[in-house]
Structure 1
Amino acid sequence: MRLLRPRPLDFGPLMETLADRGSPTTVRLSRPLDLAPDAGCVWTIPQLAELVREMSAALAAAKVRPGDRVAIHKRNHWDYALLAAAAARIGAVPALISGVLPPDALAALLARLRPALLLSDRATLAGAADRPAVPTVCLDGAMPGSTALADLRGGAVPAVHRRADDEPLVIMHTSGTTGVPKLVVHSTRSLVRRITGFEARPWPVTALRSSDTTASAVSFAHGRAVSWTISTLWGRPENALLLADDGPAAVRLLRAHPPTIVEAAPAVYQHWQPLAAEPDGPFARGRLFISTFDAVHPPTVRAFLDASDRRFPVWMQAWGQSETGPLSFRFFVRRSLARRDERHPTTRDLGRPVPGWVGLRVVDPATGRRLPRGQVGLLQARVPGLCQGYVGEPERWAAKRDGRWFSTGDIGTLTRTGGVRVLDREVDMMPGASCVELEDVLHERLPEVEEAVVLGAGPGQPALPLLVTRDGLLDPGRWQHAVRDLPPLAEPLLLGWEALPRTGTGKVRRNVLRDRYLADTARYGSGQWT
């Protein structure tokens, strides 16, 4: 694998650069792109380069100019990254906005952004009760109040606009598990040269090989879509599978081209867990499974490692944030999660920060005083790829800075050996316990549970478990045995999978569940760093 050059790629003409290098990668999609619905599901890099060029011409025809913000709000698919590249190519700043945001959150983000143009599709526009007053281009046809993309195509392709490394390159939003998401601004220096450049190095285990088939099933409205696109395609794998969802079409693609590397949101892995149990299933060739965005529970990790026919498959769990990029990594192998009597393995131990690259410390949430190793407090990070700030919320950004340190909003501890243990978001904290680790235990002890969410209540109140089971039932005796040695828990509420509100990255929106089930209950966390 070739390294990124000392001055990494310009994201705008990325596909053209890859085509000039003779990239052999074939890109395979679970469904056609919304910006090219009739062009099929198999693309070469030169074809993608031409598509991005055509889209940059269409944006220029829509009067988009350098420095303008272009909002992309549509169904989940990889064309988020292609549209972002087209906007960046002409000097605009793409803003990636998930198509599943609640209407109030969408309105708030658009009010902060004040974009010159909105790119969307028919399905998303049809589902919007109140269309924002923004000039809009519909990618896959005509819709009232918008311009059809087809009407803008065919113009001259503009020259590539070169921007300084510290100018804004792309805007993405945080997950929004605790309310309206924040709009995070990254530059070429922070996102490409530092975060993506670090990832693209030929690290042991994670380095791409020319024989790899790598699959991605994430929220492409997340900034991860940009860094994944650059680092993966620069690595020249044989195939890149882009999965718009976790449904039947995605599974058929996985079966047709079994991946050697899989990156997916934890909720996707959970949904695919029955597939992992199939003999000769789609994950039999897997050598590396990558999880980001949220906590993943031990039975899920174990299922995919056991699904691989490789002698030593590896699961890499990364902890990081949109503002910082990855902060720590932990690698799991089969023996990492072996059951031992009644003890339970956990994925809350998230490895060590990379020496010389990431600094971590723990402070008292109330006083800001630095705490010694082993004590629980607010995790702060010092990274070279920190974003430039929040659009429309400078005070919020300033409140999360402590000199060179950034307050992550996560509660955890640094172990005596230098590892990091992340317990909960500060707003969800519960003294003396971790809601997420309790969820690990419930998944481990109750295999019939497909999703467990534990909501920490206030002083004197037991935490509330919300459970999704395969058949909607739970044996009371099994429940009592499972929680016999745990902190006090209220009687569980059984819900259907669809009853759990989720963000675009598959995270459970705990704030919505708290408002729904614990509206009159105090909480321990302040929410100051959300």
Structure 2
Amino acid sequence: MKSSTAYTSIRKRGLHLGLLPEMAAAVNPSTPITLDHDLDTFPEAGRRLTVARYAEYVDDLAARLWAAGVRSDDRVVIYKTANADHWMLAAAVSRIGAVVVNLSPALDARTVGVLLQRLERPALLTDGAKLDLLDGLPLQDLTRRVITSAGDRPGTVSLAGLAGAPRVRPVVRPIDEAAVITHTSGTTGIPKLVVHTPRTQGLRLVPQWRLLSLLRKKETVAIHVPFVHSRMVAAMSLALLKAHPVLLMREPDPAEVAGHFLEHRPVLIEALPNSLMEWEGLAEDPRMPFASVKVFSSTFDAIHPGTMSKLLGASARPGALFFQIYGQSEVGPAVGRAYFRRSAHKANGRCVGWAMPMGAARLRVVSRNGSPPSEKNPGFIEVAWDGLAKTYFGEQERYDTQRRGEWWRTGDVGYRTRFGCLHMLDREVDMIPGVRSSLEIEDVVLSRLDELTELVVVRGPDAEPVPVICTADDKPVDPGRWRAAAADFPQLADPVHIPQAELPRTATLKVQRLELARRFEQRLEERA
């Protein structure tokens, strides 16, 4: 099968996660998949697979899940220790026609309990470490059955004990019915469960397929994305169907990352913005671990221009670019923009891009107060296309409050320039009186103070903008340097310096700004 044939099939029939490994193997069975860790479900597999072997493992796991009692239309929650086998298990669940529910291993027991209840007694696929964490929950009431992906526990069904189960024929879910459920980042509380269908997942590949088409040679694609995220579905699908060797990474440590990049020489790196910030120091590594990279890609959050500039400067490839996609779980890729080596450092970090070519999402900015949206009067950012998520599972009314006909209100505010570029200024819930854009302040000050590893502007107890700063090794920032760097923003309160480990984060490493602000308010109340 040609990759173009597989792509055409997905555009017409939707993306079925359970069929994807088999389709990729038909394109090229020898496409390599390299891991930076061992698989929990198949520890004997080692760290170097082929896509054909990968597809075989998925078929095997599908048979075991069927033998464990999972059937088509069942909802199966996968909540386990972070491991690349999560994606294999998700494909196996999908292969027998069940609905995959991916929960981040970073979620706490209370949150998992709430989501299990919302899902109306799903099957739970987990492991010993997570069962220990969930020990206080009434799992027998919250779930239909509990299956362990590795190891064995009383009262559970072990996949390991079902090795050799008879293979079953794949079941294809209807194109517009729920197929995969992921969750939002939870920056404002309990995450929402986002329902994706084969159609919506397939459509989301369209604009990104063109980006990968820029890579003529079949060089390695490095992916460092949470295995549970909806972005992982797209990243793996695109790379495997294009028959690119894949380096699938879990570990964020810069020293380990550098070793893998030096060995595999990726042409494209897909990673979280915060991971890329953490790897900035590798740009100074004399071994040049980024030398082979043609494309850096990030889709989760706006990234600071300084980070992009450092990474691009560390590439030895002519025409290297950083491609940023603005979107969210509910809408997929909405707009995009390429940054280049000579101009990235001068880029306006709030300009997140333009609408992508035909077949992708449409965009508009709607007034918040009756006056036309502009730089001084930002409006609500809305997106429309057939790639929008179907609903929030168990919260249809909540979904409907953000859906206006074909248009989805993202929760972000911004404006469009006369050239059509979307400027995203802030999340609506994070806006601070007297501050045009907290994100803009962070971009500017971070670019002026190399000693900062993180800067987050949050609303203080009296609605004042409080800059929370972190530094390498927690070294103090010189007050004079801070005043000079923040001189353009006199409304800022004095900076609050905390260890970076104390920043509350989501599963995709976004800072939970509301939680951070709440902690400051709580500290003041405790001192009063």
TM superposition score normalised by structure 1: 0.91
Residue 190 (1) aligns with residue 200 (2): yes
Assess if the C-alpha contact under 8 Å between 1:76 and 1:245 holds in 2: no
Instruction: Give, in angstroms, the shift of residue 466 of structure 1.
Output: 0.8
State which of 477, 481, 484 in structure 1 corresponds to 2:480.
477
- In the alignment of these two chains, the number of paired residues is 509
Instruction: Give, in angstroms, the shift of residue 251 of structure 1.
Output: 4.0
Q: For 1:163, give the aligned amino acid.
A: R
Assess if the C-alpha contact under 8 Å between 2:308 and 2:345 holds in 1: no
Residue 512 (1) aligns with residue 515 (2): yes
**Mapping of residues 458-469 of structure 1, within 5 Å:** 461-469=463-471
Q: For 1:296, give the aligned amino acid.
A: I
Deviation track 1:142-198 (CA, whole Å, cap 9, x = no partner) reads 234433221122110110112221121110111111211110111111112x11244
Residue 92 (1) aligns with residue 95 (2): no
Instruction: Give, in angstroms, the shift of residue 37 of structure 1.
Output: 2.2
**Mapping of residues 361-400 of structure 1, within 5 Å:** 361-365=364-368, 371-372=372-373, 374=375, 375-400=377-402
Q: For 1:178, give the aligned amino acid.
A: T
Distance (Å, rounded) in 1 between the aligned partners of 2:187 and 2:279: 23
Distance (Å, rounded) in 1 between the aligned partners of 2:164 and 2:216: 38
Distance (Å, rounded) in 2 between the aligned partners of 1:25 and 1:124: 33
Instruction: Give, in angstroms, the shift of residue 401 of structure 1.
Output: 1.0
Q: Partner residue of 1:227?
A: 234
Instruction: Give, in angstroms, the shift of residue 501 of structure 1.
Output: 1.4
Assess if the C-alpha contact under 8 Å between 1:400 and 1:407 holds in 2: yes
Q: For 1:286, give the aligned amino acid.
A: V
Residue 121 (1) aligns with residue 121 (2): no
Aligned residue for 1:362, secondary structure, equals strand
Q: For 1:172, give the aligned amino acid.
A: T
Q: Partner residue of 1:16?
A: 22
Q: Partner residue of 2:455?
A: 452
Q: For 1:321, give the aligned amino acid.
A: Q
Q: Partner residue of 1:298?
A: 305
Q: For 2:479, give the aligned amino acid.
A: P
Q: Partner residue of 2:414?
A: 412
Aligned residue for 2:467, secondary structure, equals strand
Q: For 2:362, give the aligned amino acid.
A: G
Distance (Å, rounded) in 1 between the aligned partners of 2:265 and 2:7: 31
Residue 180 (1) aligns with residue 187 (2): no
Assess if the C-alpha contact under 8 Å between 2:449 and 2:485 holds in 1: yes
Distance 1:441 1:94, change over 3 A: same
Aligned residue for 1:418, secondary structure, equals coil
State which of 303, 306, 315 in structure 2 corresponds to 1:308.
315
TM superposition score normalised by structure 2: 0.92
Q: Partner residue of 2:280?
A: 273
Distance (Å, rounded) in 2 between the aligned partners of 1:2 and 1:155: 31
Assess if the C-alpha contact under 8 Å between 2:180 and 2:197 holds in 1: yes
Instruction: Give, in angstroms, the shift of residue 38 of structure 1.
Output: 2.7
Instruction: Give, in angstroms, the shift of residue 130 of structure 1.
Output: 2.3
Distance (Å, rounded) in 1 between the aligned partners of 2:480 and 2:286: 33
Q: Which has a greater percent of helix?
A: 2
Deviation track 1:399-435 (CA, whole Å, cap 9, x = no partner) reads 0111211110001111111110001110001244111
Q: Partner residue of 2:504?
A: 501
Distance (Å, rounded) in 2 between the aligned partners of 1:309 and 1:130: 53
Assess if the C-alpha contact under 8 Å between 2:207 and 2:357 holds in 1: no
State which of 341, 356, 361 in structure 2 corresponds to 1:358.
361
State which of 48, 73, 77 in structure 2 corresponds to 1:67.
73
Distance (Å, rounded) in 1 between the aligned partners of 2:330 and 2:163: 35
Distance 1:55 1:15, change over 3 A: same
Q: For 2:372, give the aligned amino acid.
A: L
Q: For 2:487, give the aligned amino acid.
A: R
Q: For 1:148, give the aligned amino acid.
A: S
State which of 169, 173, 178 in structure 2 corresponds to 1:159.
169
Deviation track 1:99-140 (CA, whole Å, cap 9, x = no partner) reads 001322222211111353211223333333524513222222
Structure 1 residues without counterparts, runs of 5 or longer: 340-344, 522-530
Distance (Å, rounded) in 2 between the aligned partners of 1:373 and 1:235: 41
Aligned residue for 2:412, secondary structure, equals strand
Assess if the C-alpha contact under 8 Å between 1:206 and 1:288 holds in 2: no
Distance 1:318 1:115, change over 3 A: farther
Distance (Å, rounded) in 2 between the aligned partners of 1:250 and 1:110: 35
Aligned residue for 2:365, secondary structure, equals strand
Deviation track 1:295-319 (CA, whole Å, cap 9, x = no partner) reads 2112211111011011221001110
Distance (Å, rounded) in 2 between the aligned partners of 1:11 and 1:197: 16
Distance 1:160 1:317, change over 3 A: same
Distance 1:120 1:28, change over 3 A: same
Assess if the C-alpha contact under 8 Å between 1:210 and 1:236 holds in 2: no
Q: For 1:60, give the aligned amino acid.
A: W
Structure 2 residues without counterparts, runs of 5 or longer: none
Assess if the C-alpha contact under 8 Å between 2:335 and 2:356 holds in 1: yes
**Mapping of residues 124-135 of structure 1, within 5 Å:** 124-131=130-137, 133=139, 134=143, 135=145
Q: Partner residue of 2:60?
A: 54
Distance 1:461 1:514, change over 3 A: closer
Distance (Å, rounded) in 2 between the aligned partners of 1:467 and 1:115: 43
Distance (Å, rounded) in 1 between the aligned partners of 2:154 and 2:470: 40
Tell me whether 345-354 or 447-456 shows the greater mean CA deviation: 345-354
Aligned residue for 1:427, secondary structure, equals helix
Q: Partner residue of 1:45?
A: 51
